[in-house]
Every structure is written in C-alpha cells, then in structure tokens.
Structure 1
Amino acid sequence: MTAHDAAAHRPLVEVDLLSVAFRGRTGTVRAVEDVSFAVHPGECVAIVGESGSGKSVTARSLVGLNGREAIPAATALRVDGRDALGFSQRDWRAVRGRFAGLVLQDALVSLDPLRTVGQEAGEAIRHHRLEPRGRVRDRVLDTLRAVGMPDPERRIGAYPHELSGGCGSAR
C-alpha cells in the first residue's frame, strides 16, 4: 500500500475515549464521558441522544469551540491525521471552515441576526481564500443549491429570522 493509499483510508476524524468537563463555581461538571468513533472518507456519521447528553459538546470538541472553561481529555483526537489535542487557536482556525465546520441546530440563535445567509455562508470562503473575492457569491449559491435550499437566489439575501425552522421548507 502506498502512502497515498494509506492516507485515503485513514479516518478524517478519529475520536478515542473523549471526555469533556467544565469548570464552574461549584466544581467540575462532566459533560461527555468516553465517546469513541471515527469518520472515514465518504461516510456520514450521526451523533444522537437525548437533550443534554453531550452531542453539542462532542461536536464543538471536533472544531475546538468548547471555550476556555472546557477540560477536554482523550486517548486520541485526530483531525485530518493530525493530533488535535495539542492544537493552538491558530491551528483550530485553520481547520474550521476549510476542513470542518459546525452548523448548530437552531438557526435563530446560531446565526447572526444582522447578517444575511449569504454573508454568514460566505465568511469561511472569504476567510480561507477558497475563491477569489468575486466568486464567493457564486460559491455560496452553488452550496445552497447542493443542500436543497429552495429559491437560493432569494435566500442568499435573507436574514435568519426570514427562514423557516421547519424541515425541507423555507418561507
């Protein structure tokens, strides 16, 4: 097996015994305990569980967004083959938007109410210079079409409160 073949078969994300705790005024609270999984190229993985079970904390750990009060620990946390346990904020910024992203489930609190869908979606493309400045809008429109957004030409200029919270439909 060549080095290229090995890289093609290694997990994009590998999590082994991830635990996350948070420091608080009354002590430390464990939010996630001993979570393990891997995501290989072409796979789609869902993290499911009851409200408060640690799904969002786990997802935030994969993009370095748990905050300063978080105390993550894991046997392994690899992102694109790199050991993410020692990532600096600069390392995480290079991962977010270019390799991985996080879309929280409630757009009304996750998206900036003063910015349009196009501004929000185009931010990572601009930040990581994935397209020339003049092509960002086209890339955002292509992405909205690819995810099945109805009427993407109109939605790109919409604000979060103008989108439906329902599945598969937008006002």
Structure 2
Amino acid sequence: MDALIGKSTAGRKYGKKVKEITASLPSDAGFYLWGFYTSVGLWRSVYLGKAGYGVSTSLRSRIDEELRDERPFAWCEHQMNTDHIWQKWKNPDNIPGHEPSPKARQHFDRSIRKAGSTHVIAVSLPVSEIDNKSISSIEADLIETLNPIANVQRPRPHSSLQDKTIEVIRVFKDSIHSHRPAR
C-alpha cells in the first residue's frame, strides 16, 4: 500500500514498473479498454479511453499516465476500503489542513471505479488511418456498444456504427478471446 504515494520508495518502484510495461505500447492514437474476466471467464468492460495524436496524447503516454495518477485502483477490491485508501493517498505526509485539489479527487474517484480491472487492451490507429475529430466520434460509438461501467461521461453517437468503430471492436474482441483464462 506504500506504493500509493508516488514519491515513496515503493511508489517510485511502481512508477518504474509502469514505465517498463508501457514502453512497448505504440505512440499512435487509438483506444484502450480496462476490464476483467469474471470467475466463469466472461469479460466485463470497465473503462474506455481514447488517445489522440501528439506527444502527450499517445496510447503509451495516456495509459502510463492513468496507471500512475489513478493507482488506487490496484489497492481497492471492487470499491471496498476506499475511505482508508483515500485518507492515505490524499495526504501522505499527514500535513494538518492539507486538502488535495479537485482534480486529485477526480483521479481518485475514477480510479476507484476501475477497481478490479486486471487488463488494459490497446488498439492503435496510425495517423494515416484516422484524425483527431474522428477519434471522438468513434469513442462515442465504443462507449455505447461496450458499455464500460466507469465511463461517467457518455457522448451521444452521431450515427450508426462507423467502419473504423467495427474494426476497433474486432481487435478488442480478438484480444479478449485470446487472453481469456482457461476454465
């Protein structure tokens, strides 16, 4: 639980592990899906994220950032013990009167909704295949179709499923099936 605090020795070790894990991810745009398998091997979608183009918006940087900023997800078992984790995470140095920023609380709340996730599946879309505007439109389709439980914001899709949305769903589905635990 010491790894909750990014500047602690355990927190820095967690950060290094995240960097190792995300180093192999593409620096393209795309989508990523957090989730887990139930005890009978069914997939549950937890959170769908998008990454556009640019240095700080690639799949690699977005997943790296979420694993670091929303690390409390790893210490919560399906949203249990959140008060204790919040107390430790919001004020690691026990400074009287210290209150975290509203953005820190947003990260914490989203991380708690991701509790129980065991997998993050990424789908890369090279710049030659899609632009930033299309990414938002596809995101709306994916959220409506995959119904991830942690996505609070649910943009309304503009039309029927787009061809690129169907391609992304196929890649997610193939990955989900290929990583399904044996029963």
Structure number with the higher strand fraction is: 1
Q: With structure 2 as the length reference, what TM-score do the two structures score?
A: 0.27
Larger radius of gyration: 1
Q: With structure 1 as the length reference, what TM-score do the two structures score?
A: 0.28
Higher relative contact order (CA 8 A, sep 6+): 2
